[in-house]
């Protein structure tokens, strides 16, 4: 039932994370509470770096997609492991810079970066801008000219790959708001435009084919399509693209039954494909970038809640209500994301009670999971949701004027607060 090896069950039958009793954490910090294992985050960061070293002569960098969980301490940890970082707003750039990250290590994404955001990014010297559309190219060149800078850009390409994952998180195909399509010549036009503008250096090409992907195959296919495009740019415009960014989307375990993707295997297959294609096309081996978000952080986190009540509606269903919900984890409400739910203080009891886990927010759709098998809890017991490290805190809101939870980091068996719980004062700080 556990989804990560940073989780365990102690002698008292309590769920542990990073070796620390979750009951102790719930008591000390209150609930709802996000808890993360720093050891796990560092282990995964190292495995990404290691796989590039081993399979690609170290000629590349993993880029952490910070939208998965962006706060100062996470930025510091990722930075200290030597990963670059993706930002998708000026706010994420600001957070990384405030955490001490060298702006050169930031890569700025987004399908509708505002002029102000582009200016902010370029003024602060971010590493490169991933151009998503023609306006991006024109604006970056204009801002570059104004600031007397030549700005590195990477073109975001839709390689037209249909990855079987949830419709809402599928982005590689032509019907997507992200990037330039290959099929209709848009991507080629973008490359031509970028190659002609003086304050732009066309440095890379990028694709991101989806999320929660478990096979290396779609990535192998994507790398081949992208090298075809690199060859086309070389043939037509005489520019040899140096950077190949294959995006993120590596799957994680939300349920124990989910498969396990070995990142080393991924890099091995992709590296082989790139070397073969480069030989075939007469291209230099590009520097490789990958952009894991969810997989760096997702399995390293859990959320602890206190059960408030259990409502048994005969012949309908049982509801277990907890003291959080869509305000700290909107992913079930958004796209029926799957999660494992457990009663943290009775991990060895039989999980044979069928129930729906509901939040405290005023929406019928405020559910964390439907029809799970769980230990039947009493009010006051601690319910844990596993693998909530990614896209939970970063998607949290103050709906119903609930405060956002605190986040605690566990390192070598020691707990420390990395984000404090919001206060009522925080809730009204912008109210006039």
Residues near ligand PLP, by CB under 6 A: 65, 67-68, 86, 109, 208, 211, 247-250, 291-295
Nearest-CB residue to ligand PLP? 293
Give the three-class secondary structure for 399: helix
To ligand PLP, the closest distance from the beta carbon of 99 in angstroms equals 19
Helix or strand holding residue 203 (H, E): strand 200-206
To ligand PLP, the closest distance from the beta carbon of 112 in angstroms equals 13
Strands 382-386 and 341-343: antiparallel
Nearer to ligand PLP, 300 or 320 (CB): 300
- Kindly report whether the peptide bond that precedes residue 385 is cis, defined as omega within 30 degrees of 0: no
Residue with tokens 């810079």: 97
**CB-based contact 105:84 (threshold 8 Å):** yes
From the candidates 6, 75, 362, 407, which is the catalytic residue?
362
| Angle CA 323–325–329, to nearest 5 | 135
Q: Burial letters for 240-273: b for 16+ Cβ neighbours within 10 Å, e otherwise?
A: ebbbbbbbbbbbbbbeeebeebebeebbbbbbeb
Nearer to ligand PLP, 31 or 165 (CB): 165
Nearer to ligand PLP, 141 or 295 (CB): 295
CA neighbor of 131 nearest in space, from 171, 201, 179: 179
Give the three-class secondary structure for 176: coil
Nearer to ligand PLP, 297 or 382 (CB): 297
Q: Which tokens is 370 given?
A: 């439907």
Q: Which tokens is 94 given?
A: 């600001």
Alpha-carbon Rg for the chain in angstroms: 23
To ligand PLP, the closest distance from the beta carbon of 133 in angstroms equals 14
Residue 6 appears among annotated catalytic residues: no
Residue with tokens 């809890």: 377
To ligand PLP, the closest distance from the beta carbon of 259 in angstroms equals 15
How far apart (Å, rounded) are the C-alpha atoms in residues 119 and 90?
9
Nearer to ligand PLP, 31 or 66 (CB): 66
| 38 CB neighbour count, 10 Å cutoff | 20
Report how far apart, in Å, the C-alpha atoms of 300 and of each of 158, 234, 237, 423 are: 30, 42, 45, 26
To ligand PLP, the closest distance from the beta carbon of 38 in angstroms equals 19
Nearer to ligand PLP, 40 or 208 (CB): 208
How far apart (Å, rounded) are the C-alpha atoms in residues 114 and 119?
9
Q: What is the DSSP letter of 407?
A: E
To ligand PLP, the closest distance from the beta carbon of 88 in angstroms equals 7
To ligand PLP, the closest distance from the beta carbon of 137 in angstroms equals 17
Nearer to ligand PLP, 208 or 277 (CB): 208
Residues annotated catalytic, as ranges? 362
């Amino acid at each position: 039932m556990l989804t990560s090896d940073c989780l365990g069950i102690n002698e008292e039958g309590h769920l542990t994370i990073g070796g620390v009793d979750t009951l102790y954490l719930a008591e000390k910090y209150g609930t709802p509470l996000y808890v993360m294992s720093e050891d796990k985050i560092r282990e995964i960061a190292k495995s990404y770096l290691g796989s590039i070293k081993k399979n690609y002569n170290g000629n590349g960098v993993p880029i952490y997609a910070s939208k998965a969980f962006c706060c100062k301490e996470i930025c510091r940890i990722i930075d200290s492991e030597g990963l670059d970082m993706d930002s998708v707003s000026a706010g994420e750039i600001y957070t990384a810079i405030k955490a001490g990250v060298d702006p050169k290590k930031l890569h700025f994404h987004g399908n509708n970066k505002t002029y102000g955001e582009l200016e902010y990014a370029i003024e602060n010297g971010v590493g490169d801008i991933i151009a998503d559309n023609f306006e991006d190219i024109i604006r970056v060149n204009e801002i570059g000219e104004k600031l007397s800078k030549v700005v590195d850009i990477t073109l975001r390409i839709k390689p037209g790959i249909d990855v079987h994952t949830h419709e809402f998180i599928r982005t590689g195909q032509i019907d997507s708001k992200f990037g330039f399509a290959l099929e209709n010549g848009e991507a080629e036009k973008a490359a031509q435009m970028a190659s002609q503008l003086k304050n732009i250096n066309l440095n890379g090409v990028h694709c991101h084919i989806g999320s929660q992907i478990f096979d290396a195959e779609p990535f192998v296919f994507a790398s081949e399509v992208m090298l075809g495009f690199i060859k086309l740019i070389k043939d037509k415009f005489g520019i040899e693209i140096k950077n190949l960014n294959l995006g993120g989307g590596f799957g994680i375990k939300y349920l124990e039954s989910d498969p396990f993707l070995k990142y080393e295997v991924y890099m091995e297959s992709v590296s082989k494909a790139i070397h073969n294609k480069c030989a075939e096309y007469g291209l230099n081996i590009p520097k490789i970038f990958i952009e894991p978000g969810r997989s760096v952080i997702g399995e390293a986190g859990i959320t602890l809640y206190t059960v408030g009540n259990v409502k048994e509606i005969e012949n309908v269903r049982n509801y277990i209500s907890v003291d959080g919900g869509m305000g700290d984890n909107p992913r079930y409400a958004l796209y029926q994301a799957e999660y494992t739910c457990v009663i943290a203080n009775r991990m060895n009891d039989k999980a044979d009670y069928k129930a729906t886990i509901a939040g405290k927010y005023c929406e019928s759709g405020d559910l964390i999971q439907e029809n799970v098998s769980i230990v039947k809890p009493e009010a006051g017991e601690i319910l844990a949701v596993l693998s909530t490290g990614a896209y939970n805190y970063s998607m949290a809101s103050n709906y119903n004027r609930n405060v956002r939870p605190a986040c605690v980091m566990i390192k070598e068996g020691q707990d420390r607060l990395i984000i404090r719980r919001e206060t009522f004062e925080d809730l009204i700080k912008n109210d006039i």
